Amino acid sequence: GAGVSQTPSNKVTEKGKYVELRCDPISGHTALYWYRQSLGQGPEFLIYFQGTGAADDSGLPNDRFFAVRPEGSVSTLKIQRTERGDSAVYLCASSLRGGAVYNEQFFGPGTRLTVL
């Protein structure tokens, strides 16, 4: 079956530009997560959706970062006025349900964002 897919796989942009990163979760998974992974580090949590709503956005670093999931399936992570420090791999994951009981999160391949 299809896993989590992310597009684009690579994105190069210039400082100050706006970018959108897309995530298609596993069909039937109600929970969706965004993480950011810097070189040599583990993934760091950004935001968690249960259905259409953001249940926990405590990991978003500042108000330049925003994510939506309007129909409870596909999600888009939006970054405004990109900075060089935003360069990282952005990972999306989905799980059957949210919370801790069924928290087996399955990850996509990631989008590598490079801000020049």
Partner 1 sequence: GQQLNQSPQSMFIQEGEDVSMNCTSSSIFNTWLWYKQDPGEGPVLLIALYKAGELTSNGRLTAQFGITRKDSFLNISASIPSDVGIYFCAGGSSNTGKLIFGQGTTLQVKP
Minimum Å gap between C-beta 16 and partner 1 is: 25
Interface with partner 1, residue 65, by CB under 8 A: no
Tokens of 34: 């965004």
**Binding to partner 1, residues 81-100 (CB under 8 A):** 91, 93, 95, 98-100
User: What number of other Cβ atoms are within 10 A of residue 58's Cβ?
Assistant: 9
Cβ closer to partner 1: 50 or 76?
50
Query: Phi first, then psi: what are they for 85, rounded to 5°?
Result: -70, -10
CB 35 within 8 A of CB 44: yes
Whole-angstrom distance, CA of residue 78 vs CA of residue 19: 6
Q: Which of 31, 67, 77, 88 binds partner 1 (CB under 8 A)?
A: 31
Which residues of this protein are in contact with partner 1, per CB under 8 A? 4, 31, 33, 35, 40-45, 48, 50, 55-56, 58-59, 91, 93, 95, 98-101, 103-110
